[in-house]
Amino acid sequence: MTRNAKLAGLPIGYAARAALGLGKRIGGRSAEIVAAEIQQRTAEQIFRVLGELKGGAMKMGQALSVFEAALPPEIAGPYRATLTKLQESAPPLPARSVHQVLVRDLGENWRENFSEFDDRPVAAASIGQVHAATWRDGRRVAVKIQYPGAGNAIINDFNQLSRVGRLFGVLLPGLDVKPLLEELKNRVAEELDYEMEAASQQAFADAYRGDPDIYVPDIVAGTRHVLVSEWMDGTPLARIISDGTREQRNRAGILLARFLFSGPARAGLLHGDPHPGNFRLMNDGRLGVLDFGAVDRLPGGLPPFLGRLLRIMHEDEPSITAVESELRAHGFLREGIRVDLDALRAFLSPLAEPSKVECFRFTRVWMRGEATRILDTSTSNISRKFNLPASYVLIHRVSTAGIGVLCQLECEGRFRAEVLRWMPGYLDEPDGDERRSLPVG
């Protein structure tokens, strides 16, 4: 079956389940039970199809996987393992095709660069797969190789997914996937250019060199379709989520928050793809970070506006008129648009609550409660009235996806201190030496 046929089969399957559900309701089954059955069957089909494909379908599946914590337990439970697999693997590229890419980018004598090269991939994702190898100087390296034709496949997938986008609302009623699809599509050109990714990864590696808590592998070589970096061992974050100890989950959570918030200040860059497949908890306790294809360039750090907004939301009686004023000043609310201020407070609370108290525990129960509140009819009107300026699109994606991963980890820690330490406009930032010696809370 072709890629297009698999994607086109999603609405057909849903229509068949809906028709069958109607028959069950006529036969006396309750509407709630029938709806839950349709939701579960549709979710299983969506993630199965996305997991079988690479390209944009795989990337969409990875992006959706961070919302797993917000799904009802009876829906999330049966295929949590499928999501983990989706974050870590995809069907591999044959060895012959791998060699053709290496010849094209590294030359006919590409093997001279390596003393060893394993033709079997150790990981595969949306646009490329990774092979273990030994560089000619003896260093263990990871060789990421882009799938031939990945660009066309991704664009085609996004076009197909936009036609069946309403089905994703079956997973989370009220979820609008169109902005997510559009943002992912806009990032394709950057993610397909491994030379650009190499530059971003090396900038992060330089910024965190010697850090006791964060590790980013150095780049060894990079072409447009081949990326060679130093090897990194460790336990995938997806496995920490499923099988990790409380201590491991807490440590991974606080370090993930530290990395995401400190990146703009330390490297002038924001890691734009915080799904669990891109992180490892190393044996020495450091958080290892992978995949720098999607980054946001923030040479001045995070916008001070975010710190000011957070400070207002942290007040015991936050002035929502002040919040509204800040949002209008920065283009989030267009002129003439009016919003319910109580609904606005409810809409913004999930982003502010974890850093309002000294110690916070992220849980799936909390995530589901916040998702229900945000997607409530009265509050969801806020999201439809919001205008997300282009400069904030990736920041918003990272913040929401990061919260999703923290809830999957169900971790607890001193997130307030971690967030405010790196948030300009809220508190004075510590100097560089102080930043590098921060303890894990």
- AA identity, residue 202: Q
pLDDT surpassing 80 at residue 407: yes
Tell me which residues are annotated as active site: 273
| CB of 42 closer than 8 Å to CB of 50 | no
pLDDT of residue 409: 96
Q: What is the CA radius of gyration of the chain?
A: 22
State the average pLDDT over residues 435-441.
41
Q: Six-digit token pair at 213?
A: 């808590």
147-149-150-155 Cα dihedral, nearest 10 degrees: -170
Q: Which of 151-165, 221-235, 330-344, 421-435 has the highest mean pLDDT?
A: 221-235
Euclidean distance between the first and the last CA atom of the chain, given in angstroms as a whole number? 50
The CA distance from 441 to 262, in Å, is: 15
Question: Which long-range CB contacts under 8 A does 375-380 form with residues at least 24 apart?
Answer: 375/172, 375/173, 375/174, 375/175, 376/174, 376/346, 378/340, 378/343, 379/343, 379/346, 379/347, 380/174
Q: Which residues contact 343 (CB under 8 A, 6 or more apart)?
A: 378, 379, 381, 382
Ranges of each domain in the chain: 235-441
pLDDT tens-digit series, residues 126-179: 688 999 999 999 999 999 999 888 777 776 666 666 655 555 555 555 455 666
What pLDDT does 165 receive?
57
Q: Please check whether residue 283 is in contact with residue 233, taking contact to mean a CB–CB distance below 8 angstroms.
A: yes
Highest mean pLDDT among 49-63, 148-162, 195-209, 308-322: 195-209
Residue 191 half-sphere exposure toward CB, CA atoms < 13 A: 24
Range from 89-98, 194-203, 430-439 that averages highest in pLDDT? 194-203
Q: How many contiguous H segments (helices) and E segments (strands) does the chain have?
A: 20, 13
CA-nearest of 290, 287, 296 to 398 is 296
DSSP character string of 73-117: HHHHGGGHHHHHHHHH--PPPPHHHHHHHHHHHH-TTGGGGEEEE
Q: How confident is the model at residue 370 (pLDDT cuts 50, 70, 90)?
A: confident
Q: How confident is the model at residue 328 (pLDDT cuts 50, 70, 90)?
A: confident
